[in-house]
Structure 1
Amino acid sequence: MSALLGCWWSHLVAVLVVAVVAGYLWFRRRFRYWENRGVPQARPEVPFGNLRRTFLGQTRLEFTVRDIYDSSKVRRLVGMYRFGMPTLILRDPDLIRLMLVKDFDSFTDRGVPHNEQEPLNHNLFFMNGAKWKRMRAKMTPAFTSGKLKMMCQTMQDCGREMVEVLEGAARRGEVVEMREVAARFATDIIASVAFGVDCNCQRNPDAEFRQWGRKAFEPSIKFKVAHLMNTFIPAVARALRIGAGTEEVSAFFRNMVRETVEYREKNGVTRNDFMHLLIQLKNRGFVDDEKARAVKDIGNDIDNWKLSMDEVAAQAFVFFLAGFETSSSTMSFALYELALNPDVQRRLQEEVDATMRKNNGQLTYDAIAEMHYLDKVVSETLRMYPPGAILVRKCTRRYQFPDGGPQLEEGTTVFVPVFGLHNDPQYFPEPQRFDPERFSEEEKAGRHPYVYLPFGEGPRNCIGMRLGLLQTKIGLAYLMSRYEVHRCDQTLVPMQFSTMSFVIMPISGIQLRLSKRT
Structure 2
Amino acid sequence: MDLLQRLLYTALSVASIFYLIIKTSLSHWKRRGILHEKPKFLVGNLGGVGGKRHISSVLEQLYEKYKGQAPFIGCYAYLKPMVLVLDLELAANVLVQHTNYFKERGVFGNAPHDPLSANLLQQDGADWERLNSVVCPTFVEKNIIQMLPTLEKVAGAMHRSVKQSEPHNIIPINKLVDCYNIDVISTLAFGVSGETFLNSDTEFRRMARSYLKDFNIFRLYFLMYFPNVARLLRYKNYEQAATDYFLKLVRQKLFELEWSRIDNRSSFFQMFAELKRDRNPKRRLSDEEIAAQAFSFILMGLEACNSAMTFCLYELALQPELQRRVREEICGVLKGNENGMDKTKLEEMNLLKQCLYETLRKHTPYAFLLRNTNKDYEVPNSIFMLRTDNHLVIPIAAIHRDPELYPEPNKFDPERFSKENVQRRHPMAFLPFGVGRRYCLAQKFAEMQMLVGLATLLRHYSFSPCRETPIPLVYDNTRLVLAPKGELRLAVQRV
TM-score (normalizing by structure 2): 0.92
1:140 matched to 2:133? The reply is: no
| Partner Cα distance (2:221, 2:29) in 1 | 24
1:113 aligns with 2:80: no
Q: Does 1:209 align with 2:204?
A: yes
Separation (CA, whole Å) in 1 of partners of 2:149 and 2:218? 40
1:197 aligns with 2:192: yes
Alpha-carbon contact 2:134-2:283 (below 8 Å) kept: no
Counterparts in 2 of 1:326 and 1:82: CA distance versus 1, 3 Å: closer
- 1:292 paired residue number: none
CA contact (8 A) 2:154 2:184 kept: yes
1:156 paired to 2:144: no
Instruction: Report how far residue 212 of structure 1 moved.
Output: 2.0
User: Per the alignment, do residues 82 and 398 of structure 1 end up closer, same or farther by CA in structure 2, a change over 3 Å counting?
Assistant: same
Give the residue type in structure 1 aligned to 2:158.
Answer: M
Equivalent pair of 1:31/1:44 in contact (CA under 8 Å): yes
Distance apart, 1:446 and its partner CA? 1.6
Q: Does 1:386 align with 2:364?
A: yes
What CA distance in whole angstroms lies between the structure 1 residues aligned with 2:269 and 2:238? 26
- Give the 3-state SS of the residue equivalent to 1:496 in structure 2: coil
Trace 1:54-73 onto structure 2 (pairs within 5 A): 54=49, 57-73=51-67
Separation (CA, whole Å) in 2 of partners of 1:438 and 1:20 = 54
Contact kept, 8 Å, 1:120 with 1:310, in 2: the verdict is yes
Q: Does 1:436 align with 2:375?
A: no
The structural deviation recorded for 1:83 is 3.1
| Maintained 8 Å contact 1:120/1:311 | yes
Post-superposition Cα deviations, 1:234-293, rounded to whole Å, max 9, x if no partner, equal 56967987643533222211111111112322443444222222222223256xxxxxxx
Deviation at 1:154, TM superposition (A): 0.6
Partners in 2 of 1:487 and 1:333 — Cα distance?
13
Distance 2:16 2:218 in 1: 28
- Structure 1 position 484, deviation (Å): 0.6
Q: Which amino acid aligns with 1:432?
A: N
Following TM superposition, by how much is the alpha carbon of 1:507 offset from its aligned partner in structure 2, in angstroms? 1.8
- Structure 2 gaps of 5+ residues are none
Whether contact under 8 Å (1:38, 1:406) holds in the other structure is no
Question: Which residue type is aligned with residue 282 of structure 2?
Answer: N
Matches within 5 A, 1:187-336: 187-216=182-211, 222-223=214-215, 228=220, 231-232=223-224, 243-244=236-237, 246-272=239-265, 273-284=267-278, 304-336=282-314
Q: Distance in 1 between matches of 2:317 and 2:216?
A: 32
Residue type at the aligned position of 1:160:
G
Could you say which residue in structure 2 is the equivalent of 1:300?
A: none
Which residue identity lines up with residue 445 of structure 1 in the other structure? Q
**Number of residue pairs aligned between Structure 1 and Structure 2:** 491
d(CA) in 2 for partners of 1:227 and 1:143?
34
The alpha carbon displacement at 1:138 in A equals 1.1
Measure the CA separation in 1 of the matches of 2:446 and 2:256.
Answer: 28
Instruction: Give the letter aligned to residue 353 of structure 2.
Output: D
**Which residue of the partner structure matches residue 426 of structure 1?**
404
Tell me which residue corresponds to 1:104.
Answer: 99
* Alignment equivalent of 2:27, drawn from 27, 32, 44: 32
Residue type at the aligned position of 2:356: V
Asked if the contact 2:149/2:340 (under 8 Å) is kept, the reply is no
Aligned match of 1:299: none
Q: Give CA-to-partner distance per residue, 1:133-159, whole Å, 9 cap, x none.
A: 221121122211211111001111122
Kept after mapping to 1: 8 A contact 2:189/2:269: yes
1:173 offset after TM fit, Å? 5.0
Secondary structure at the aligned position of 2:39 is classed as coil
- Relative distance call for 1:168 and 1:274 in structure 2 (3 A) is closer
Alignment-mate amino acid for residue 396 of structure 2: V
Q: Are the aligned partners of 1:148 and 1:467 in contact in 2 as well (CA < 8 Å)? A: yes
SS of 2:82's equivalent? strand
What is the RMSD computed on CA atoms of the aligned residues? 2.4
Query: 172, 190, 198: which is aligned to 1:177?
Result: 172
Residues of 1 paired with 2:40 and 2:78: CA distance? 9
Matched position secondary structure for 2:335? helix
Report the Cα offset of residue 106 of structure 1: 0.6
Distance 2:336 2:34 in 1: 57
Distance 2:317 2:473 in 1: 13
* Aligned: 1:490 with 2:483: no
Aligned residues of 1:191 and 1:320 also touching (Cα < 8 A): no
**Contact 2:361 / 2:400 at 8 angstroms: preserved in 1?**
yes
Give matches, 1:336-375, under 5 Å. Answer: 336-357=314-335, 359-360=337-338, 362-375=340-353
Verify the 8 A CA contact 1:78 1:88 in the aligned structure 2.
yes
Q: 1:196·1:271 contact (CA, 8 Å) conserved in 2?
A: no
SS, match of residue 138 in structure 1: helix
Contact 1:195–1:275 under 8 Å retained in 2: yes
Residues 31 and 241 (structure 1), Cα distance of their counterparts in 2 relative to 1, 3 Å cut: same
Shift of 1:378: 0.5
Q: Tell me, what secondary structure is at the counterpart of 2:282? A: coil
What SS does the aligned partner of 2:374 have? coil
Alpha-carbon distance between aligned partners in 1 of 2:349 and 2:235, rounded to the nearest angstrom: 47
Query: Which one-letter code corresponds to 1:268 in the other structure?
Result: R
Matched, 1:126 2:122: yes
Q: Cα 1:34–1:241, aligned 2, differ >3 Å: closer, same or farther?
A: same
1:92-134 Cα shifts (integer Å, max 9, x gaps) = 1000000001100110111123455421011111111122122
Question: Which residue matches 1:298?
Answer: none
Work out whether residues 114 and 230 of structure 1, in 8 Å CA contact, stay in contact via their aligned partners in 2: no
TM-score, normalised with respect to structure 1: 0.88
- Out of 371, 375, 389, the residue aligned to residue 397 of structure 1 is 375
> Deviations along 1:367-391, whole A, 9 cap, x unmatched?
0011110110000011122232210
Identity among equivalent positions (%) equals 29
* Contact 2:104 2:372 (C-alpha < 8 Å) held by counterparts: yes
Q: Secondary structure at the match of 1:357?
A: coil
Alignment counterpart, residue 77 of structure 2, candidates 82, 86, 90: 82
Deviation (angstroms), 1:423: 1.2
